[in-house]
Amino acid sequence: MRNYSLFDRALIGLNRGLDAVHGAPQKTERASPAAGLADADLGEVQRRHVAGLMRVNHAGEIAAQALYHGQGITARDEDVKQRLEQSAAEEGDHLAWCQERVEELGEKTSLLGPFWYWGSFAIGATAGLAGDKWSLGFIKETEDQVIEHLQGHLEQLPLEDQKSRAVLEQMIIDEAHHGDKAVEAGGVPLPQPIKLMMRAVSKVMTTLSYKI
């Protein structure tokens, strides 16, 4: 296995960032959980609301890709880097699934995608510089907050929209697994002020990406 330098990893991160923002993220071969499910006959207000929710989730997955990529560049332990790589690929699945669903609903993903990616990439790289245990703790807290956010979206979905529901339910399973892996690898709980700051940043992102 090649031992990449920090500069090499930065270039790889730049390429992955361009892929994530422009619709060709690194991912696994998993099919969308919504594949094969019948689409719901949604009213116009419902359709636009669901599309807004899925656009938010797509923006969140762009940010998740960026966090993992940034942390991967600055991670110290090789095993941690490999864990980050695998989780990033699974987040790439989520990104593709959400984009597909937004487009099925006749809408477009957030125009602020580049901002979400590079802002989150910087946060992830900074978390990695703090040390692997804090970087992994950051992943755990991020995933916990994402799960809470996804559960809230599930409650807002029309009952008949099984396609969006299937995507979000699988995302919740994956996010919980990512958080558990981070703790198993040595992640530690973050200080409360950091958790509150993360919630504030998330609120800004979800509010803007719902509409833009």
Give the CATH number of the domain where residue 82 resides: 1.20.1260.10
Judge whether 110 and 116 are in contact, CB under 8 Å. Answer: yes
What are the respective helix, strand and coil percentages of the chain, to the nearest 5? 75, 0, 25
* 24, 29, 108, 168 from 211: Cα distances, Å: 23, 31, 10, 20
Angle at 50 between CA 45 and CA 55, to 5 degrees: 125
Q: What confidence tens digit (pLDDT) does each residue in 149-194 have?
A: 899 999 999 889 999 999 999 999 988 988 888 888 788 888 888 8
In this prediction, residue 168 carries a pLDDT of 94
* Distance (Å, whole) CA 60 – CA 67: 10
Rounded to the nearest integer, the mean pLDDT of the chain is: 81
Most confident of 4-8, 42-46, 120-124, 125-129: 42-46
Instruction: Report yes or no on 18 lying in a domain.
Output: no
Q: What percent of the chain has pLDDT over 90?
A: 16
Q: What confidence tens digit (pLDDT) does each residue in 46-91 have?
A: 999 999 999 999 988 888 878 877 777 776 777 777 777 777 777 8
* 59, 112, 135, 157, 204 from 82: Cα distances, Å: 24, 29, 14, 35, 31
Instruction: Report yes or no on 26 lying in a domain.
Output: no
How many Cβ atoms are within 10 Å of 18's Cβ, its own excluded? 12
Q: Is the pLDDT of residue 139 over 70?
A: yes
Q: Is the pLDDT of residue 39 over 50?
A: yes
In this prediction, residue 55 carries a pLDDT of 92
Q: Give the structural domain span for 72.
A: 42-211
> Is the overall model pTM greater than 0.85, yes or no?
no
Mean pLDDT of 9-16: 59
Q: Is the pLDDT of residue 16 over 80?
A: no
In this prediction, residue 63 carries a pLDDT of 84
Mean pLDDT of 18-30: 61
Structure tokens at 89: 């690929």
* Distance (Å, whole) CA 63 – CA 66: 5
In this prediction, residue 1 carries a pLDDT of 46
Instruction: Report yes or no on 20 lying in a domain.
Output: no
Q: What total number of domains does the chain contain?
A: 1
